[in-house]
Amino acid sequence: MHIDILTLFPEMFDGVLQNSIMKRAQEQNAFSYQYVNFRDYTINKHNKVDDYPYGGGAGLVLSPQPIFDSIHDIKEKADKPPRVVLLCPQGEPYSQQKAEELSKEDHLVFICGHYEGYDERIRQELVTDEISIGDYVLTGGELGAMVVIDSVVRLLPGVLGNAQSAPMDSFSNGLLEHPHYTRPADFRGHQVPDVLLSGNHAKIEEWRHYQSLKRTFERRPDLLKDRELSAKEESWLEEWKNS
């Protein structure tokens, strides 16, 4: 996978992309990236990338020309049209399912905006996906892009090392993840559940499923709204509702 990041502040990404799993993913050639400072594409003498909104109002709006030209340049060099992601509060709420969808692409472009917003023609003509990472407003799209890139890259083949890690994550199967324990089995009087020490893998899987569903029921019941429940899951839910 290759990722182009359109940003006025490329240095913001170095801490994320040059450390930990992201760095290892690059060393494994799982993905590559480049920064595109769209200020470099401006054609006005002051190198401005924004202007006042038509109709008046507070703030400044990103101009279409620098972003159009930078995206055009990226597409000219690409083998096939990339997926172009706009980070914005009005976008589709981000989810694990969206991360899995994007992880199947060969080429992603992220547009990180600033100021009051984007000229609407950027959305209409260039963008394939609009993503919001939450119902709040940030000073720019960089942090949102970092979140999405991290969540996508970790799903690429071989990046996590253990192929079973990603499918077990919270939200991957529609539920929150079950509790985890590690050594020692007795930590200051707090015990690891006996079933995890039993060696009975069938019982362990059932316990994990039970705990995953229970945690979802307690913390994110909205995730269960449209879930098709098995008879066993139904009986567990009745147990918790009546307890």
Q: pLDDT tens for residues 43-70?
A: 999 999 999 999 998 889 999 999 999 9
| Residue-by-residue DSSP string for 179-238 | P---S-SEETTEEPPGGGGS--HHHHHHHHHHHHHHHHHHH-GGGGTT----HHHHHHHH
Residue 3 token pair: 């990722």
Residue 12 shares a structural domain with residue 103:
yes
Spot the catalytic one: 105, 116, 150, 177. 116
State residue 162's pLDDT score. Answer: 66
* Mean pLDDT, residues 136-148 taken together: 96
Residues of the chain above pLDDT 70, percent = 96
Tell me if residue 64 is catalytic.
no
State residue 43's pLDDT score. Answer: 95
| Residue 51 domain boundaries | 2-153
Q: How far is 103 from 201, CA to CA, in rounded Å? A: 31
Element (H, E) at 130: strand 129-132
Q: Does the residue 45 lie in any domain?
A: yes
Residue 49 shares a structural domain with residue 136:
yes
Tell me if residue 154 is catalytic.
yes
Q: pLDDT tens for residues 159-206?
A: 997 665 666 566 778 899 999 999 999 999 999 999 999 999 999 999
Q: Does the residue 158 lie in any domain?
A: no
* Mean pLDDT, residues 218-236 taken together: 95
- Of 153, 188, 218, the domain-final residue: 153
Residue 15 shares a structural domain with residue 94:
yes
- How many distinct structural domains can be found in the chain? 2
Q: Does the residue 71 lie in any domain?
A: yes
Spot the catalytic one: 89, 105, 123, 215. 89
State residue 163's pLDDT score. Answer: 60
* Mean pLDDT, residues 135-141 taken together: 93
Q: pLDDT tens for residues 99-127?
A: 999 999 999 999 998 877 899 999 999 99
* Mean pLDDT, residues 15-22 taken together: 96
Residue 7 shares a structural domain with residue 112:
yes
What residues are designated binding site for S-adenosyl-L-methionine?
Answer: 113, 133-138
Catalogue the long-range contacts made by 211-216 (C-beta closer than 8 Å, 24 or more residues apart).
Answer: 211/178, 211/179, 212/173, 212/175, 212/176, 212/177, 212/178, 213/175, 213/237, 214/240, 215/175, 215/176, 215/177, 215/178, 215/179, 216/175, 216/176
Whether the model clears a pTM of 0.85, i.e. scores above it, the answer is: yes
Residue 15 shares a structural domain with residue 123:
yes
Task: Work out the mean pLDDT of the chain and round it to a whole number.
Answer: 94
Tell me if residue 169 is catalytic.
yes
State residue 164's pLDDT score. Answer: 56
CATH number at residue 185: 1.10.1270.20
Residue 98 shares a structural domain with residue 208:
no
Spot the catalytic one: 82, 119, 129, 154. 154
